[in-house]
Amino acid sequence: MKERYLTPKIGITALVMALIAILPVLIANEGNLYLVGDYMTQQIPFIRECRRMLLSGAPFWSHNTFLGANFLGTYSFYNWASPFFLPLFLLPEKFIALGAGVMLIIKLTVAAMTASLYLKKHIRTPHLVFTGALIYAFSSFTLDSTFFYHFIDVIAVFPLLLYCTDEVLEGRKKPLLSLAVMLNACVNYYFFFISSVFFLIYMFFRIRYGKYDFKSALRCIAFYALGGFSAMFILLPSAFSLLETYKVSGSFADTFVRGLSSIPQLFKTLKGIILPSEGIMGSAMGFRYSVFNSNNAFLPFFGAVFTFTALRKKSGEWYYRLIKFLFVLTLVPFGNGIFSLFTNVSYTRWWYAFVLIQVLVSVKIIEEHEAIAEYRKSVKTITKIALAVIGCPILAKVLAAYVLKDFASRILPAHIFDYLTDIGITEKFNFEDFRYSLTLVFLCALSFVPLFMSIKNGWLYKAKKVVPAVILICTLNFGVYFINETDIADSSYEESYNGMDAAVKDGTIYSSRTDYSYSLVNYPVVANTPGTTVFHSFKSKATAEFCKLIGYEDTLHASSKKYFDSPAVQTLLSIETLVSKEGVSTPAEYYTPFGWIYDYFVIDEGFDYTTNKAENNRRIKLMTKACIVDKETADKLKGIATSLENTDSVDWKTACKNSKATAAKDISLTSKGLTCVTSGEKKRLIYFSIPNDNGWRAYINGEEAEILTINGGMMGIIVPEGKAQISLEFHTPGLKAGIIISCLSLIFLSFCVIFPICGKKVVTKQKK
């Protein structure tokens, strides 16, 4: 196979493979890409919301995201800044699911092409570059990531980061590294941090065990930093938004406990490296531990045979040392936490980098014509590990579900038994377990039988033999996985989300909320109607504090499960319509528009989070009459509102009627904020059930006013007597500063292109 036009050939091949692999799913859904899991509950709805918000011209506040959210700061984790989102943004809304399928094919094509660029720098044999690039693009990590969808963006562009790093080390194309960094940052800031940590590890091994000196490392770091500064229009607002959540501080608090609880994940980790992924929604082992933790790094056809051969190799080359370090790192407790500052020690979301280095060392081992005896040793080791990581969990399930279940429930502490129940260890084997087992057996045979024949007959070194085999294996592996996973989607689930051809209303102007059934998470985004159900990775502290106060899901959870059922919440959250699981709409009896008056307050002296439904109902009823405030805010309300003495017996229905009578008029919720008109005979406290996140500004008749935090994290504004025009405007924190830093950095980068400042000579270390 000739090297000329190798990367375009790889791209065309990957495109055809991806199309064939997902074609059955597209045919079954009339050309639309519909999958299960987060894809349906997050990706498709959020693409719609991003498109809607950007078209508004002022994409600052998303009212459709639960009680409201900082759009630019929170949705940068998902898609709005990714170049792969732009084509979907340009499509009419009804074609988004169709466009998502086309874009997935493009992402996989790009992943194969960028991987080939990187591999060509280190591999001399064209057909090994060809096979390695395809295996990277269609690895098990990519398979599992399709259900998160935006993860594929990272897989597609990450190899450019290492390719450009190598270019800078060699004294070439230095500004390209900055652009590659900027691209990775725009795709996803969370994965950009992971990639940055990996970049430092990569640089250490390239410098310490390669031919380059410390100055080369500084050159790379300088251009990497310049790329990061160029992406500050994304990174800075995202950082401000992230710091305003419990995602960071809350995760740090229980890092040690999470680390200990992740030790059983070792079975899944090892299995994910040495065996194919049979599915993200279930397991051949019959339990559900770490189902969504991205614990799959299996290479189709290659498997881990060449990786394990590299692990035993005594060569001092940097890539062999690097793979050994990464392998140990991912198995050691807390090792994976390095890539998330230990805010999460369970996820192996950094494995896209691990996969690429696995591919590199695998093709290196093949290119160096390693002895067949070494491969046999690896196969024996992998077989032993496979028997352990499959057999031990199955044995545990047999014991827990059939032999010791009743006994275990009596002797084990309740929280341990509940944990075992949650992960499925105490459940008997069912058809799904059998189906996943068959899938695993088939996928193992699909990779290992051709690999065995290739090693035995020397086909690894024959392009006409190994390339078609890899194409066929990757395509079948991908296709079987897709069909197997989409087949398990619940029919009612599919009906709820597949019928997303048209939203309830167009645009980003609203006036009230709708209470959807909890089973329809993120349906407010689907229907384009602000609502009270959500499945989103981020809750601001203001939102979380309010949720803790009235009994929504714990602050670190992405969903909005509620531990209350009082209809008084209709007043508290301005809910106008109720929609059942079956889609039946009814008017909310106690609906009260935004902007109603509080005459009473209660000082918060211990309203801790609880799942007790009766207590949460009591608090909600109380808040229809009196707002809950801290002592400092209570002092500001003197002469405006009165402290409520009797908080146990509130006539909440009368309070709701009174609130409705005092509510604001001409309410308009937009992507900029909120406007309304209110009137009254005295100075008063107006309540808005919108999270008081950093970035809000309030104006009364054109004059800026103070925003008070009441009811945990909601807004309260003191309004003078008479008629008042109220305007609430949200300004994304960090956006202006980020844009300025990005512009200055890009100007400096342009200067570097026109007037090179780092020289072209490469200083190398002399080997002794």
pLDDT in tens, 579-612: 887 778 899 999 999 999 999 999 988 889 999 9
Same domain, 281 and 415: yes
State the pLDDT at residue 422.
77
424 band by pLDDT with thresholds 50, 70 and 90: confident
Q: What is the pLDDT of residues 68-126, one digit of tens each?
A: 999 999 999 998 999 999 898 888 888 888 999 999 999 999 999 999 999 999 999 99
Indicate the residue type of 491.
S
CA distance 47 to 78: 9
CB 91 within 8 Å of CB 427 = no
Distance CA 191, CA 580 (A): 37
Cα 768 from Cα 766, distance rounded (Å): 6
Instruction: Of 546, 550, 708, 696, give the one whose Cα is nearest residue 638.
Output: 708
Q: What is the mean pLDDT of residues 196-216?
A: 93
Q: What is the mean pLDDT of residues 269-292?
A: 84
- The 3 state secondary structure assigned to 160-172 is HHHHHHHHHHCCC
480 and 525 in a single domain? The answer is no
Residue 556's pLDDT is what? 64
User: What's the pLDDT score for residue 544?
Assistant: 92
CA distances from 238 to 234, 245, 619, 655, 735 (A): 6, 11, 33, 40, 9
The predicted-structure confidence for 281-310, as pLDDT tens digits, reads as follows: 778 887 777 777 888 999 999 999 999 999
Q: State whether 452 and 554 are in the same domain.
A: no
pLDDT score of 371 = 86
The string of pLDDT tens digits covering residues 105-114 is 999 999 999 9
Residue 52 lies in a domain: no
Q: With a cut of 70, say whether residue 129 has pLDDT above it.
A: yes
Q: Compute the distance between CA of residue 601 and CA of residue 402 in angstroms, rounded to an integer.
A: 57
Task: Judge whether 282 and 292 are in contact, CB under 8 Å.
Answer: no
Full domain range(s) for residue 551:
504-733
Q: Are 288 and 424 in contact (CB under 8 A)?
A: yes
Check whether residue 537 and residue 622 sit in a common domain. yes
Asked whether residue 416 is domain-assigned, the answer is yes
User: Are 340 and 326 in contact, with CB atoms under 8 Å apart?
Assistant: no
Output the CA–CA distances (angstroms, integers) from residue 228 to 18, 195, 234, 601, in the order listed.
Answer: 32, 12, 10, 47
For residues 554 and 438, membership in a common domain is answered with no
Q: Are residues 583 and 447 in the same domain?
A: no
Binned at pLDDT 50, 70 and 90, residue 703 comes out as: very high
The verdict on residue 236 lying in a domain is no
Q: Which residues pair with 603 in a beta bridge?
A: 629
pLDDT at residue 540 greater than cutoff 70: yes
With cut-offs at 50, 70 and 90, classify the pLDDT of residue 255: low
Q: Which helix (H) or strand (E) holds 513?
A: strand 513-516
pLDDT above 90 for 522: no
Tokens of 698: 């309030």
Same-domain check for residues 538 and 677: yes
Q: Which of 495, 517, 543 is the last residue of a domain?
A: 495
Length of the chain: 768
The tokens describing 100, both together, are 């998502």
Domain count for the chain, please give it. Answer: 2
Q: Output 693 or 211, whichever has higher pLDDT.
A: 693
Instruction: Tell me the pLDDT tens digit for each residue of 712-731.
Output: 999 999 999 999 999 999 99
Say whether pLDDT at 494 is over 50: no
Residue 388 lies in a domain: yes
pLDDT value of residue 240? 94
Q: Which residues on adjacent β-strands are paired with residue 515? A: 578
Q: 94 CB contacts (<8 Å, ≥6 apart)? A: 501, 502
pLDDT of residue 523: 85
Mean pLDDT for 203-215 is 91
Q: Is the pLDDT of residue 451 over 90?
A: yes
Say if 134 falls within a structural domain. no
Please give the structure tokens belonging to residue 616. Answer: 């949460």
> pLDDT at position 5, please?
82
The one-letter code for the residue type at 609 is Y
Same domain, 491 and 508: no
Please check the confidence at residue 407 and state whether its pLDDT lies above 90: no
The pLDDT of residue 350: 95
Q: Is residue 758 part of a domain?
A: no
In a domain, 8, yes or no: no
Tell me, yes or no, whether 309 and 409 share the same domain: yes
Question: Which of 420-425's residues contact partners 24+ apart within 8 Å by CB, and which partners?
Answer: 422/288, 423/287, 423/288, 423/289, 424/286, 424/287, 424/288, 424/397, 425/287, 425/393, 425/396, 425/397, 425/400, 425/401
d(CA 308, CA 316): 16
Does position 211 have pLDDT exceeding 90, yes or no?
no
Look at residues 351, 358, 359 and name the one whose alpha carbon lies nearest to residue 198: 351
Helices (H), 332-430: 351-367, 372-398, 405-411, 414-422
Nearest CA-CA partner of 366 in 122, 617, 596: 122
Condensed to tens digits (0 to 9), the pLDDT of residues 587-596 reads 999 999 999 9
Same domain for 364 and 474, yes or no, is: yes
Lowest mean pLDDT among 25-34, 435-444, 450-459, 631-640: 25-34
Average pLDDT, stretch 520-543? Answer: 88
Q: How confident is the model at residue 404 (pLDDT cuts 50, 70, 90)?
A: confident
Quick one: pLDDT band at residue 59, thresholds 50, 70, 90? Answer: very high
Tell whether the model's pLDDT for residue 517 goes beyond 90: no
Nearest CA to 8 out of 84, 87, 105, 116 is that of: 116
Q: What is the mean pLDDT of the chain?
A: 89
The per-residue pLDDT for 265 is: 78
**Res. 757: pLDDT tops 80:** no
> Is 4 part of a structural domain of the chain?
no
Q: What is the pLDDT of residue 756?
A: 72
Q: How far apart, in whole angstroms, are the C-alpha atoms of residue 581 and residue 570?
A: 18
Is 489 a residue whose pLDDT tops 70? no
At 197 the pLDDT is 96
Instruction: Give bridge partners of residue 703 from the DSSP assignment.
Output: 700
Q: What pLDDT is attached to residue 427?
A: 85
Nearest to 544 by CA among 425, 745, 719, 709: 709
Q: With a cut of 60, say whether residue 571 has pLDDT above it.
A: yes
Q: Compare 615 and 553 and report the one with higher pLDDT.
A: 615
What is residue 493's predicted lDDT score, i.e. its pLDDT? Answer: 41
Q: Is the pLDDT of residue 498 over 90?
A: no
How does 182-213 read in b/e, with b if 16+ C-beta sit within 10 Å?
Answer: bbbbbbbbbbbbbbbbbbebbbebbbeebbbe
Q: What is the DSSP letter of 286?
A: S
Query: Of the given ranges (14-28, 240-254, 370-384, 711-725), which has the lowest mean pLDDT?
Result: 240-254
- The sign of the torsion formed by the CA atoms of 674, 677, 682, 687 equals negative
Residue 529 in tokens: 């109607």
Please report which confidence band the pLDDT of residue 239 belongs to, taking 50, 70 and 90 as the band edges: very high
Q: Which helix (H) or strand (E) holds 244?
A: none
pLDDT at 767: 45
- Is the same domain home to 678 and 534? yes
Question: How many other C-beta atoms can be found within 10 angstroms of the C-beta atom of residue 495?
Answer: 10
pLDDT of amino acid 605: 80
Mean pLDDT of the 557-571 span: 89
Q: What is the mean pLDDT of residues 684-696?
A: 97
Same domain flag for 562 and 544 = yes
Give 753's pLDDT tier (boundaries 50, 70, 90).
confident
Residue from 148, 152, 497, 477 nearest 291 by CA: 148
For the cut 50, the answer to whether the pLDDT of residue 500 exceeds it is no
The pLDDT of residue 2: 61
Contacts of 438 (CB under 8 A, 6+ apart): none
- Cα 163 from Cα 356, distance rounded (Å): 12
Burial of residue 445 (CB within 10 Å: 0-12, 13-18, 19+) is: exposed
Final residue in a domain of this structure, among 464, 495, 526: 495
For residue 392, name the pLDDT band (cuts at 50, 70, 90): confident
User: Among 470, 495, 520, where does a domain finish?
Assistant: 495
